[in-house]
């Protein structure tokens, strides 16, 4: 299987994000919480007044922006992976049941999806986190409760299509139960689609975490997050525009990487698209 340049770009961005998240204690040049008021609001090192020891400059409290960006990759990746996988598990189970078994399963799941998707996603996430309580895992649960519908709708349609194909009829003819046919025959053929959906959902989860961090409903204020950095940079955008621009670039790069990975994998794994 050959991967497209888009997929390789997504893999490179994902590996970079993973390296920053796992290796933050070693990759960050400074303590992200260390304050140095004598070095506050320094521009990036390539600017006229920049200093080499602060490659991306400092914020109003003299904290190193590069270190805070590196550490901010950790909550972003945790939320992206855990939120996407949890939403995928819930949505896939309900979508497979609705699409393959039909009947009242399909009716209940379809109505539930329609009602749940009628609420604005970001507003619903803010309400859920406010009810559950702030924290990283509260954000993960909120994302899973919101975005399981995305998986359920797509998987339902795919399972409904697969259930009409000859290999499913043959499996039922040789005596496999409906549950066994679903697990052993239909699910493996849905997995390439699920892999694509998970990677795309990871990009959405990163944005949701940044929004919740921006309004103070994600992790504690002493942990660097990209949304928190954007919120801080907004206050000083006229004096220190790099404080706002750099986390925005990091967030955009992560989302583009996950989306490119999802599209690239779909091009490689989906035989219809590949043709």
**Residues 6+ away with beta carbon under 8 Å from 23:** none
Q: What is the pLDDT of residue 273?
A: 46
**Residues 6+ away with beta carbon under 8 Å from 184:** 171, 176
Q: What is the pLDDT of residue 100?
A: 82
Q: What is the pLDDT of residue 84?
A: 92
CA nearest neighbour of 270 among 179, 160, 193: 193
Alpha helices in the chain (DSSP H): 5-22, 24-27, 65-101, 103-117, 121-132, 136-162, 166-173, 178-181, 187-214, 226-235, 241-269, 271-274
Q: What is the pLDDT of residue 130?
A: 79
Q: What is the pLDDT of residue 73?
A: 92
Extract the tokens encoding 214: 């921006």
CB 248 within 8 A of CB 91: no
Task: Tell me the whole-structure pTM to 2 decimals.
Answer: 0.87
DSSP 150-189: HHHHHHHHHHHHHTTSHHHHHHHHTT--HHHHIIIIIHHH
Distance CA(186)–CA(161), nearest Å, equals 10
Q: What is the pLDDT of residue 221?
A: 65
DSSP structure class, residue 221: T
Q: What is the pLDDT of residue 66?
A: 92
Per-residue pLDDT of the chain (275 residues; tens, 9 = 90+): 577 788 889 999 999 999 999 999 999 999 998 888 888 888 888 888 888 888 898 888 889 999 999 999 999 999 999 999 999 999 999 988 888 887 888 888 888 888 888 888 778 888 888 788 778 888 888 888 888 988 989 888 888 888 777 777 787 777 777 777 777 778 888 888 888 889 989 998 998 888 888 877 777 667 888 988 998 888 888 888 888 999 999 999 999 999 998 888 877 766 544 44
CB 85 within 8 A of CB 195: no
């Amino acid at each position: 299987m050959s991967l497209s340049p888009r997929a390789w770009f997504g893999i490179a961005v994902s590996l970079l994000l993973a390296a920053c998240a796992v290796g933050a204690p070693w990759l960050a040049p400074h303590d992200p919480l260390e304050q140095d008021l004598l070095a506050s609001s320094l521009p990036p090192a390539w600017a006229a007044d920049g200093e080499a020891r602060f490659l991306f400059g400092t914020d109003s409290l003299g904290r190193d922006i590069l270190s805070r960006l590196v550490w901010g990759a950790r909550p972003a990746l945790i939320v992206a992976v855990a939120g996407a996988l949890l939403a995928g598990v819930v949505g896939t189970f309900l979508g497979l049941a609705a699409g393959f078994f039909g009947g009242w399963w399909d009716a209940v799941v379809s109505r539930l999806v329609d009602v749940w998707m009628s609420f604005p996603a970001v507003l619903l996430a803010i309400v859920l986190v406010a009810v559950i309580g702030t924290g990283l895992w509260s954000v993960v649960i909120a994302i899973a409760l919101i975005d399981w519908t995305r998986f359920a709708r797509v998987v339902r349609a795919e399972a409904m299509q697969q259930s009409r194909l000859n290999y499913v009829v043959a499996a039922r003819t040789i005596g496999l139960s409906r549950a066994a046919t679903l697990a052993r025959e239909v699910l493996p053929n849905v997995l390439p689609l699920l892999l694509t959906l998970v990677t795309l959902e990871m990009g959405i989860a990163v944005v949701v975490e940044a929004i919740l961090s921006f309004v103070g409903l994600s992790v504690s204020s002493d942990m660097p997050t990209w949304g928190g950095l954007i919120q801080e940079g907004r206050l000083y955008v006229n004096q220190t525009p790099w404080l706002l621009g750099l986390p925005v670039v990091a967030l955009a790069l992560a989302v583009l990487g996950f989306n490119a990975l999802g599209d690239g994998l779909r091009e490689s794994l989906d035989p219809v698209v590949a043709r």
